[in-house]
Chain A
Amino acid sequence: MKYLKPMNLKAQALNRASFSSSGDGAKMEVVAMQTVAGCASTMDPGWEVDAFGGIAALCQPMEADLYGCSDPCWWPAQVPDVMNSYPDWDMDKPNAGADWRQLNNVFPKR
């Protein structure tokens, strides 16, 4: 983290866990802090698996922030980005938590 600085407690904790030499103890602390509640603030969790190889630091439920991923083109290989590539993907589906069943895959079935 040379050029960006963590701005909140969770991001700072993650930074310490990722870059300190204190090992798993620090990582476990971060995992515990982030368990289930909302999206991770780290810049690069995976879509499927979090920075610690689990799921506790992912956004749960994913639908709570799904459009926060598609609007700013966050995981464009997993979630269609409505910023540039698929502007109509979530058209008429304003509530991801209720409308997720209607969301379509963007690559046609062959």
Chain B
Amino acid sequence: MSGKRGLFVSGLTLFILSAVLTSVSANDSTGDFKGKALVNDYCAACHEQTDKGGLTRISDVRKTPEGWDMTIFRMEHLHGLAVDSDDRFAIIKYLSAENGLSPKESAPFRYVLEQRAHFVDTAPNDDLDALCGRCHTNARYGLQRRTAEDWLKHMHFHVGQYPSLEYQARARDRFWWQEVTSKTYKELAELYPFQNADWDQWKAAAYKSPVGLWRVTGHRPGQGGYEGIMIVSRDGDFYKAEYDLNDMGQKGKSITGNSKSVIYTGYEWRGSGILNGTETREVYALSEDGNRMTGRWHDAIYYDIGGEFQAVRMDGAETQVLTQSSDYLRQGETKQIILHGTGLTGKASADKGLGLSIVHQDSNSVTLQITAGRNIAPGSYRVTVGQAETAIVVYDKIDRVKIMPEWTIARLGGGNTPPVSAQFEATAYMKGKDGDIKIGIMPALWLVAPFNADAEQMKDVDFAGRIDQSGRFMPAAAGPNPDRKYSTNNAGNLTIIGRVKDGDHQVSGKAQLIVTVQRWNLPPIR
């Protein structure tokens, strides 16, 4: 396997919605009919009909909604297609339904759909990493399905549209064009085949409605967890979500808002919303049984700022703990820990060594006063509420602190390009019999240092930006800086240090942050 560090960064997710939400209101059956008619109207002039009744190229490809959006953008930009936002939306919805990806096909690559700025992605092998991964995330091609013939056309398109590919694709190391036109396209067709029983099955399945009451839990890196309720109702072709959430990291401060969303391909929830006055975007996947949604929401402009999202349908939900206000306590410590979940009405109990009393209990949350005995062995202790089970770690000392992400980039911002910050968190570990035991995320004192001698010589720490005490590094302004040698940019190669207090001493962890330049090509799939 070949690793490619998360150089996909930046940009804005597909939100067809914000442009078109207000005006489309066909029901599902007429939507299919309308979409098909529109594809014929707009596409058939150039894309001939095939023997099988499809359209050349279009019918040989399957993609995500974002992928189809990018295709239409390319048709507009390079081939003069003129399509208004209503029709554009209907075409994307239709193509995502007819030629989309199944939940299993998109699952390995959701990080790019969810705009995770700090993900480190991995290519299936070195050749594909070199061929595709030097410019794109490996999700870019992993989220496409083509016939072998169409993958071959894809090679021809690339060398025609981007001729310097000749120099980028290890041309100096091999006869790359000969390889990609005789071997690689077949490899891609095997890895990402157009024909797939899983897709056939998904396409024929009866899709589930998201309408109902949902128990929501999540985590905002640097800010902590949140929990609450989401009510989803139908709104024409769309869905409306109302959020009533509490920020667990800020003493229960409420987070309220709503969103309007569409579901593509039976499971791809894409929403535009407002949370506490901030415009947001939502990228969730509805589970195949329709009882769970997972994904990420983010700031509409600053995609690096957002939260993990999990929702469980409350109607018929099993008894379960979904998140908790803290994962740990120290030997001898007494702490209130709130468990959040569904059906939490049962009797609370804990493994021997933990003292337990209930401060408050309802079906969604249980507040427990937990005491760890001074002499109990460090390790993981089970806490149960009825049939629901969770674990609390009791530690004696912190042996190691890991900073996550361990390696990432931030981007300078300015002009028409927003900055991309980097959010770090410190996770403490202790030694156990079978390896390190994760204690949990802890507050840290955050510092920045030069990563190497070059960074020290160039005083990167002074120029590249600043880290706040939530662990968020905000890069400095873009553009040449006359105060730097060679008027260089405020780029930098930095070590991020997180120091976690443990009694009367501190335990440190380190990560590497490259503060780098902006980019101007920001499609939803990089």
Tell me whether A91 is interfacial, beta carbon within 8 Å: no
Q: Which residues of A contact B (CB under 8 A)?
A: 1-4, 31-32, 35-37, 43-44, 46-49, 54-56, 58, 60-64, 72-81, 83-86, 89, 97, 100-110
Tell me whether B152 is interfacial, beta carbon within 8 Å: no
Tell me whether B45 is interfacial, beta carbon within 8 Å: no
Would you list which residues of chain B between 475 and 526 have a CB under 8 Å from chain A?
478-481, 485-489, 491-493, 514-517, 519-524, 526
Whether A54 contacts B78 in the complex (CB less than 8 A), given A44-B168, A78-B519, A79-B519, comes out as no
CA distance A49 to B481 in the complex (A): 19
Contact A106 B521 (CB under 8 A): yes
Chain B min CB distance to A33 (Å): 11
Q: Which residues of B contact A (CB under 8 A)?
A: 5, 7, 9, 11-19, 69-70, 73, 77-78, 134-136, 161-164, 167-168, 171-174, 409, 411, 414-417, 451-452, 454-455, 457-458, 478-481, 485-489, 491-493, 514-517, 519-524, 526
CA distance A82 to B515 in the complex (A): 26
Chain A min CB distance to B347 (Å): 49
Contact A101 B415 (CB under 8 A): yes
CA distance A103 to B519 in the complex (A): 10
CA distance A64 to B508 in the complex (A): 39
Measured CB to CB, the nearest residue on chain B to A43 is B167
Residue from the list A31, A47, A60, A107 in contact with B488, Cβ < 8 A: A60
Residue from the list A4, A48, A64, A85 in contact with B7, Cβ < 8 A: A48
List A contacts of B11 (CB < 8 A): 105, 107
Measured CB to CB, the nearest residue on chain B to A69 is B164
Summarize B's interface: helix, strand, loop or mixed.
loop
Contact A105 B520 (CB under 8 A): yes
CA distance A72 to B489 in the complex (A): 22
Number of A-B contacts (CB under 8 A): 162
Whether A49 contacts B5 in the complex (CB less than 8 A), given A60-B491, A106-B520, comes out as yes
Chain A min CB distance to B279 (Å): 11
Whether A2 contacts B174 in the complex (CB less than 8 A), given A36-B458, A103-B416, A109-B12, comes out as yes
List B contacts of A80 (CB < 8 A): 520-521
For this complex, 7 residue pairs linking A to B, each with C-beta atoms less than 8 Å apart, are A31-B454, A35-B457, A47-B519, A54-B514, A58-B491, A61-B488, A110-B16
Contact B73 A107 (CB under 8 A): yes
Most buried by B among A2, A31, A44, A61: A61
Chain A min CB distance to B6 (Å): 10
CA distance A75 to B516 in the complex (A): 15
Whether A105 contacts B416 in the complex (CB less than 8 A), given A3-B172, A48-B9, comes out as yes
CA distance A106 to B416 in the complex (A): 11
Contact B416 A77 (CB under 8 A): no
List B contacts of A83 (CB < 8 A): 163-164
Most buried by B among A49, A75, A100: A100
CA distance A37 to B478 in the complex (A): 18
List B contacts of A62 (CB < 8 A): 489, 517
Measured CB to CB, the nearest residue on chain B to A38 is B486
List A contacts of B457 (CB < 8 A): 35
CA distance A32 to B174 in the complex (A): 29
Whether A85 contacts B77 in the complex (CB less than 8 A), given A48-B516, A48-B517, A77-B135, comes out as yes
CA distance A93 to B232 in the complex (A): 48
List B contacts of A101 (CB < 8 A): 414-416, 479
Whether A49 contacts B416 in the complex (CB less than 8 A), given A62-B489, A105-B521, A107-B11, comes out as no
Chain B min CB distance to A110 (Å): 4
List A contacts of B514 (CB < 8 A): 48-49, 54-55
Contact A61 B487 (CB under 8 A): yes
Whether A107 contacts B522 in the complex (CB less than 8 A), given A31-B454, A48-B7, A101-B415, comes out as yes
Residue from the list A35, A63, A73 in contact with B164, Cβ < 8 A: A73
Contact B17 A110 (CB under 8 A): yes
Measured CB to CB, the nearest residue on chain B to A108 is B73
CA distance A75 to B135 in the complex (A): 7
Chain A min CB distance to B9 (Å): 7
Contact B454 A56 (CB under 8 A): yes
Residue from the list A46, A104, A105, A110 in contact with B134, Cβ < 8 A: A46
Chain B min CB distance to A5 (Å): 9
Contact A60 B489 (CB under 8 A): yes
Chain B min CB distance to A16 (Å): 15
Residue from the list A3, A58, A110 in contact with B13, Cβ < 8 A: A110
CA distance A97 to B486 in the complex (A): 12
List B contacts of A104 (CB < 8 A): 416, 520
CA distance A54 to B167 in the complex (A): 22
CA distance A78 to B172 in the complex (A): 22
List A contacts of B163 (CB < 8 A): 73, 83-84
List B contacts of A44 (CB < 8 A): 134, 168
